[in-house]
Structure 1
């Protein structure tokens, strides 16, 4: 009888603390970072309603490890923005360094890419293949997202020319979604729509990728919410001031008529 000892067992799959958190490449353009922030900031209120327990995670240019390779980072894809439902934002009290699919088994609901080039890499549907010598070819990002990680919604937004494509995973392949009458793309699991908004954010005026609710109302970022509250407060102050002026004019007119407006009984 063969006795299997601990040393005979294969090593455990690595976790996020044992895998590289970067492949050493630069962020490719100045727009990608603020674009990610505006998406994260504005969808916060929606996610708090969907996850009152706080169990969700958002990745911005973070690696999703889907297979073990040498070097390890070749087994990861790093969407510019992605959201995963029903996972803890921290792991064992530590900040996430990456998202390891074989540890958590939960695919992101949506991944978004902001190509710096012509989008060829983001649309690459080359499948994983193994040669006769046992060597594997690098699969395309589009194929990995749809066939391996199986991300239900995938968006590609080319910031430089304002081109947006949104795909939905159906029958094991991505099908391109058509926009609705508002020019937005519905993302039912989040009860939101994705679309383009012309405006200025962080000193950059351009078409930004934004969220709307299912009724077509723009989801605001913190700065916009603060400005809206300030405007509401100013409108309320003006209404109160106008009511006070109206009351003062009425009191003056009553006095001209010999009536004391401060009397308890004006009858």
Structure 2
């Protein structure tokens, strides 16, 4: 499948089976933890079903003027994705060939981040240019974990990213997922700091699995205390 722009020929081709992917070390441990935490909530909420791809650090492929470009965002979410056979392992994702353009792409910034804002059009293009001009991703989110700063950009009718303003609660509506995205401060497992979290339309924060277990434990403890106060012993 080929799409032509004024200066660029874009071809959507599957990554060759014999293509050797570069192995780049993570810049810090925050990146996989943040991505896994966001993805966990989506899975619990029933938003990762067959045909949905919510993938951390997976290469998104496009061929520009016959040159393969691969960008691996910290997390992206796409719908109507073709299923693989039981013998296949997904090594990459090619939009328009294997499924829809991602509804949202997220990058978690480090102290040395620069490519996430790069509008460099020449090969290899910067991420900003790739997500905006090549993929035309509707929502591009940039999160700086150390400072807890979230920037959300939306693609406008002219094909440019426009920074969005949060609502009164400091959150951003992500239409392609149907949830609000915002910043939360606290502890999960071994990490304490700023996190990205999901909220539903009513403003209720969606919980991680461990939080749901703790909530049920507290509920059971309250019920047991009420029964004892009424002279009844709760069942074991």
The TM-score by the shorter chain falls in which range?
0.7 to 0.9
Whole-angstrom distance in 2 between the partners of 1:219 and 1:200: 15
Whole-angstrom distance in 2 between the partners of 1:209 and 1:20: 33
Q: In the alignment, which residue of structure 1 is the partner of 2:8?
A: none
Unaligned runs of 5+ in 1: 1-12, 129-136, 246-267
Q: In the alignment, which residue of structure 2 is the partner of 1:114?
A: 108
Q: In the alignment, which residue of structure 1 is the partner of 2:169?
A: 182
Whole-angstrom distance in 2 between the partners of 1:19 and 1:142: 28
Residue 92 (1) aligns with residue 107 (2) = no
Q: In the alignment, which residue of structure 2 is the partner of 1:194?
A: 181
Whole-angstrom distance in 2 between the partners of 1:27 and 1:67: 25
User: What is the correspondence of 1:71-86 to structure 2 with a 5 Å cutoff?
Assistant: 72=68, 75-86=69-80
Q: In the alignment, which residue of structure 2 is the partner of 1:149?
A: 135
Q: 1:218 aligns with which of 198, 205, 211?
A: 205
Q: Which has the larger radius of gyration?
A: 1
Secondary structure, in 3 states, of the residue corresponding to 1:195?
strand
CA offset digits 1:110-166 (Å, max 9, x no partner): 1100122354210111224xxxxxxxx322111110111111111001112222100
Q: Structure 1 residues 240, 95: CA separation in 2 closer, same or farther (over 3 Å shift)? A: farther
Q: Structure 1 residues 222, 69: CA separation in 2 closer, same or farther (over 3 Å shift)? A: farther
User: What is the correspondence of 1:42-57 to structure 2 with a 5 Å cutoff?
Assistant: 42-46=41-45, 48=46, 54-57=50-53
Give the TM-score of the pair, scaled to structure 2: 0.84
Secondary structure, in 3 states, of the residue corresponding to 2:117?
coil
Whole-angstrom distance in 1 between the partners of 2:231 and 2:202: 38
Contact 2:13 2:62 in 1 (8 A): no
Say which structure is richer in helix.
Answer: 1
Report how far residue 101 of structure 1 moved. 2.6
Secondary structure, in 3 states, of the residue corresponding to 1:34?
helix
Report how far residue 242 of structure 1 moved. 2.0
Unaligned runs of 5+ in 2: 1-11
Contact 1:110 1:154 in 2 (8 A): yes
CA RMSD of aligned residues (A): 2.4
The size of the alignment, in residue pairs, is 220
Q: In the alignment, which residue of structure 2 is the partner of 1:131?
A: none
Q: 2:194 aligns with which of 207, 213, 221?
A: 207
